[in-house]
Structure 1
Amino acid sequence: MRRRALIAAATAAFPVTAGAWQPPRPMRILVPLAPGGTADTIARIVADPMAATLGQPVLIENRPGGNGSVAAIAVARGPADGLTLLYCSPSIQILNPLMMRNIPYDAMADFTPVVALMRAPKVLVVRPDFPAHSVAELIALAKSRPGGLTYASAGIGSSAHLAGALFAQMAGIEMLHIPYRGTAPGVQDLMGGRVDMILDTAAALLPLVREGRLRALAVSTPQRAEAAPDLPPIAATLPGFNDASFNYLIAAARTPPDAIAAINEAANHALADPSVRARFAALGAEPLGGTPAQLAAAVQEEIARWRGVIASQGITIE
């Protein structure tokens, strides 16, 4: 009751535009990952301020499985009424179609864009006793030992796998990919000296860097990241290198445009809230926002970015 009262009070203060679509009952955001991770946290951060604007609770429902396919199918085959949204990491629309022969949904035709939520830089980290102390030294070391260096990831086709593959391709080096069942076991082996490096999210790695259990060399974004301002960008050594975790909301195709517009407005309002932005910053994430058209263009840019890397490395998921 207290939560509903807070939502009602906030709705009175920040109503949707007069005459705009309003949800007739509670909404859901399906998150295709288990509870507790960065995606789940981001979804929960934006849900309540969106609810305050829309006048209905926005509930988070975790639907992991199938590299995002379980949640994607639920939204694609559900009612196109704007009441169920899909929280997208790159897998669902961008990577799965490039790495999987058959996916049980049409990555573009089954969905409509709503709003970009965030980008989060990745950090290139090495084990504490690693002999290289910069990106240039790492590349030189790798060239002196072709195939002799290893990098961990959360699994084949994961964002850390692709980031490492992009780094190796642009640097002209060979490294051995060691996939794990999730980020945590890979990081454990990195701290234990069993692998050499990982290129993964700042939220997962920077706390361990601050504790001295890992050593950071650079960030993956073209400019220095707010989450780690002392670290140079990889692009300072490899011009053009650019990679960041990209998360956004989509809805079922044929969702009414007025519903998409109202949800987009609510999400942009949430992302502009200073308290929301502070919570994003604590996770090393940059809030985005913008229009559905801008989101659609960004998705196409990501597809173009990763198509060549995936094809050249022969990365597939069965």
Structure 2
Amino acid sequence: MPSRRTLLALPALLAPRLAAGQEAYPARAITVYSGYAPGGVTDVTSRAVAERMGVELGVPVVVENRVGAATAVANTAAAQARPDGYTLLMGTSTLAINPGLQPNLTPKEPLKDLAPIGMVFRSAFVLHVHPGVPARSTAELIAWCKANPGKLNFGSSGTGAVNHLAQALFAQRAGIEVVHVPYRGGAPALIDLRAGRIGAMFQAVLEALPALQDGATRGLAISSAAREPLLPDLPPVAETLLGFDAVFWQGLFAPAATPAPVLARLGTALRAATEDPVLRARMAQQGVAIATGDAAELRALLERETGLWGRLIREADIKAE
């Protein structure tokens, strides 16, 4: 059995040293930039994961909200930060969307300017419709749209939002014509969906739940490839449109050129946080599926979605508002 002295020495033994004469990492608080305002699911999840990472690392990990320009303010600040492991980014799907939708925003090449550390969460959307839409499944909705081209008003949280791209991908894959109605957020869109002023929407599960539960809307499917624990009876869209998978995701990044030992230490701490059963259960109650994935998986996801959304934006001629 290890002695108490050995156990106390473990953090120092595990901490990577960057070079001879430099301090062990981490030696002080770590800042994580977030491009979202305080209080939302993204912010709440960021803080929960950061706090748990701080326990693992032995230093505070503090989330700093830098809102603006479709998260480009936070993304750019992190990409341009000193690559020493003390400034990180809770990056999201916007890293894959912005290069195609708003190529003037920085970083223009996130795959080159940022170093992936690991996945944080994936959050699916529910495809739900107003009861006046005569469809009770994805297949029925597609058939109705084909028989009534251009008659379905499909809401979103805004042009270029992931749920808008999910709708555009759905229409493209299904070969249907719908009318996109962008809103400034999911809440006003839901008001109009309840009232029947729009007919359908891909919406964050927690936002949609009250309307589904009181019968104001009818759930048809889930946008992720896997079923949603909060709505287990709804099949994935992919059961009708093979390969369909459109989710909002979040992952942890560092500036490019951050030393490999530092990235490895951060990756270990992130995995400990995302595998914590208490944290996972707490986030599941908010409709967030905490995801465990290493740097390679996050890089592959960002690369795949940059290609997917960029191609869709071009083919569907989607323009930023």
Q: TM-score, normalised by structure 2?
A: 0.90
The answer for the alignment partner of 1:149 in structure 2 is 152
Shift of 1:15: 4.7
Shift of 1:99: 1.1
Name the CA distance, whole Å, in 2 between partners of 1:98 and 1:78.
24
Name the CA distance, whole Å, in 2 between partners of 1:16 and 1:313.
53
Shift of 1:189: 1.0
2:234 is aligned, of 227, 231, 236, to 231
The answer to whether the aligner puts 1:291 opposite 2:294 as a matched pair is: yes
Larger deviation, residues 242-251 vs 204-213: 204-213
**Deviations along 1:206-230, whole A, 9 cap, x unmatched?**
2331233322111112232222111
**Deviations along 1:85-137, whole A, 9 cap, x unmatched?**
1111111x211001123123232222111111111121101123332111111
What is the root-mean-square deviation in Å for CA atoms of aligned residues?
2.0
The answer for the alignment partner of 2:285 in structure 1 is 282
SS in 1 for 2:124: strand
Contact 1:31–1:88, Cα closer than 8 Å, also in 2: yes
SS in 1 for 2:238: helix
The answer for the alignment partner of 2:20 in structure 1 is none
**Deviations along 1:172-191, whole A, 9 cap, x unmatched?**
10000000111111111111
2:249 is aligned, of 242, 246, 251, to 246
Name the CA distance, whole Å, in 1 between partners of 2:285 and 2:61.
23
The answer for the alignment partner of 1:6 in structure 2 is none
Contact 2:116–2:296, Cα closer than 8 Å, also in 1: yes
The runs of 4+ residues in structure 1 deviating greater than 4 Å are 11-17
The answer for the alignment partner of 1:140 in structure 2 is 143
**Deviations along 1:120-167, whole A, 9 cap, x unmatched?**
121101123332111111111111111110111111100111000011
Contact 1:14–1:52, Cα closer than 8 Å, also in 2: no
Name the CA distance, whole Å, in 1 between partners of 2:8 and 2:52.
12
**Deviations along 1:254-282, whole A, 9 cap, x unmatched?**
11222111111101001111101102211
Structure 2 unaligned regions, length at least 5: 1-6, 17-23
The answer for the alignment partner of 2:79 in structure 1 is 76
Name the CA distance, whole Å, in 2 between partners of 1:313 and 1:13.
58
1:35-74 matches, within 5 Å, as 35-74=38-77
Match for 2:99: what amino acid?
P
Structure 1 unaligned regions, length at least 5: 1-10
1:96 is aligned, of 91, 95, 98, to 98
Q: TM-score, normalised by structure 1?
A: 0.91
Name the CA distance, whole Å, in 2 between partners of 1:14 and 1:148.
64
The answer for the alignment partner of 1:113 in structure 2 is 116
Match for 1:59: what amino acid?
V
Larger deviation, residues 232-241 vs 204-213: 204-213
Name the CA distance, whole Å, in 1 between partners of 2:273 and 2:239.
34
Match for 1:214: what amino acid?
T
The answer to whether the aligner puts 1:199 opposite 2:190 as a matched pair is: no
Contact 2:118–2:293, Cα closer than 8 Å, also in 1: yes
Paired-residue identity, %: 39
